Amino acid sequence: MLTGGMHLPTGIVVLVACLLTALVLRWRRRSQERQHSFISEVDRATYETLHTVSLAAQPLREGLTEDGAARAAKHLLDMLHASAVAIQGVGSTLTWVGEGQHHAAQVGAHTVPVLEGGRTIVISSGEISCTDPDCPIRSAVVSPLVVDDHVVGALATYSPSSSPGLARATEEIAGWASSQLQLAELGKERTRAMEAELRALRAQISPHFIYNSLAAIASFVRTDPERARELLLEFADFTRYALRKGGAFTTLSEELRNVERYLVLEQARFGDRLSVSLLIAPEVLPVQVPYLAVQPLVENAVRHGLAGKTTAGTLILEARDVGAEAEIVIEDDGIGADPERVRAALDSVTESDSVGLGNVDARLRQVFGEDYGLVVETAPGAGTRVSFRIPKYAPGIHEGR
């Protein structure tokens, strides 16, 4: 029995003592770190420069924007030992950092030859006129910022007198900044590619499915016109959903409704050979899923798992509540597949054989992060089990209800 066995004031005193000790230790470690006692002067200068470089890299990764340029220029000025640093974009001066703010208006004129010629130029002392005798802005070094062989801007450094050292430094820094801008451009391209891919998948009802559905419907037109009409309406609803415009997300219950339409059409073709078992936790029905995330996986199970089978096949669709996430499982007892082939399908999104798998995987990772890809368990003859998780809340995806 612990009750009453603890003396409270003692407990509190011990706790406070522990906290104080921890604080003192931490403070001492901090102050030791600050003394740099075992780092030489040269090393220290190198580290500081490297640190400044990394600070300047972040804003440049956003591309040549006014805000990013201003933040980066501050750090560039620290590295260059010049009086002022200016960054010129195509058409406008983005920023001026340092002394002699009144010269900012002339940056455009100073950088014209560089933007046109793409070479570093030095504007020597005397060419920049100023009424203020103490103004340090007398000479300039202007270097181009190049992305993909195009001059997208210029970096200008100003000082009282131009030196070869400053010219070299400016050129190097401009080259480094160009590489950062190139990275920014790559990032943008990647986003564009992902968006294009999303658009591509949205319209991607497989041609096999259209052909097979229409053939199945046609077979009912004479024998069972009523059924043919129902199937045709299901087909119309399916295509409307798959080709719709609007948000990239939908609720799990909407997506399930579409899976149902798909399966009704497939069952018209397979008849009794395809049976479906559903186990859906009602708690996860309102979860937002990327639109067309489940249907391609079901289609994959039917086409690659069950269609090759001679006997009846079962498809199990499960949605489970796992705390702050939902887990969705699509399982078939079909012919299975070689794991290596599945891996290849997941790796290359464009592979025509299992378009759905790779594409859904890529979209899930893009939207929710690298932890949220597809998990495929399969072996030849052993069926296939595809599962993935969806967070119930992810920042920024709840825009389209």
Minimum distance from CB of 391 to another protein (Å)?
Answer: 8
Do 185 and 150 contact (CB within 8 A), yes or no?
Answer: no
From 42, 109, 203, 324, residue interacting with another protein (rule: CB under 8 A) = 324
From 214, 281, 344, 349, residue interacting with another protein (rule: CB under 8 A) = 281
Minimum distance from CB of 263 to another protein (Å)?
Answer: 8
Give the chain's largest Cα–Cα span.
100
User: Residue 47 or 393: which CB sits closer to another protein?
Assistant: 393
From 34, 282, 352, 381, residue interacting with another protein (rule: CB under 8 A) = 282
Is 4 near another protein (CB under 8 A)? yes
Is 42 near another protein (CB under 8 A)? no
User: Residue 276 or 329: which CB sits closer to another protein?
Assistant: 276
Do 357 and 294 contact (CB within 8 A), yes or no?
Answer: no
Is 370 near another protein (CB under 8 A)? yes
From 126, 133, 246, 381, residue interacting with another protein (rule: CB under 8 A) = 246
C-alpha span between 376 and 205 (Å, rounded): 22
Is 109 near another protein (CB under 8 A)? no
Do 88 and 107 contact (CB within 8 A), yes or no?
Answer: yes
Q: Give the binding range for another protein (CB under 8 A) out of 6-14, 80-88, 141-149, 217-225.
A: 6-14
Q: 135 is written with which tokens?
A: 């103004």
User: Residue 6 or 203: which CB sits closer to another protein?
Assistant: 6
User: Residue 349 or 394: which CB sits closer to another protein?
Assistant: 394
Is 275 near another protein (CB under 8 A)? yes
Q: Which of residues 330-369 bind another protein (CB under 8 A)?
A: none
Residue 307 per-residue DSSP state? T
Do 288 and 250 contact (CB within 8 A), yes or no?
Answer: yes
C-alpha span between 257 and 238 (Å, rounded): 9
- Kindly report the CA angle at 239 between 237 and 243, in degrees rounded to 5? 120
Minimum distance from CB of 329 to another protein (Å)?
Answer: 13
Do 44 and 36 contact (CB within 8 A), yes or no?
Answer: yes
Is 203 near another protein (CB under 8 A)? no
From 218, 277, 379, 382, residue interacting with another protein (rule: CB under 8 A) = 277
Q: Which of residues 287-316 bind another protein (CB under 8 A)?
A: 288
User: Residue 229 or 398: which CB sits closer to another protein?
Assistant: 398
Q: Give the binding range for another protein (CB under 8 A) out of 2-10, 104-112, 166-174, 375-383.
A: 2-10
Q: Which of residues 12-41 bind another protein (CB under 8 A)?
A: 12
Is 322 near another protein (CB under 8 A)? yes
C-alpha span between 167 and 377 (Å, rounded): 60
Q: What percent helix, strand, coil does the chain show, rounded to 5?
A: 55, 20, 25
Q: How many CA atoms lie within 13 A of 276 on its CB side?
A: 20
User: Residue 53 or 316: which CB sits closer to another protein?
Assistant: 316
Cβ contacts of 10 within 8 Å, gap of 6 or more = none
C-alpha span between 335 and 310 (Å, rounded): 10
Distances (CA, A) of 76 to 51, 52, 56, 160, 396: 11, 8, 7, 18, 34
Q: 206 is written with which tokens?
A: 């497989």
C-alpha span between 378 and 392 (Å, rounded): 27
Interface with another protein (CB under 8 A): 1-4, 6, 8, 12, 246-248, 251, 253, 256-257, 259-260, 263, 275-283, 285-286, 288, 321-325, 370-371, 389, 392-393, 395-401
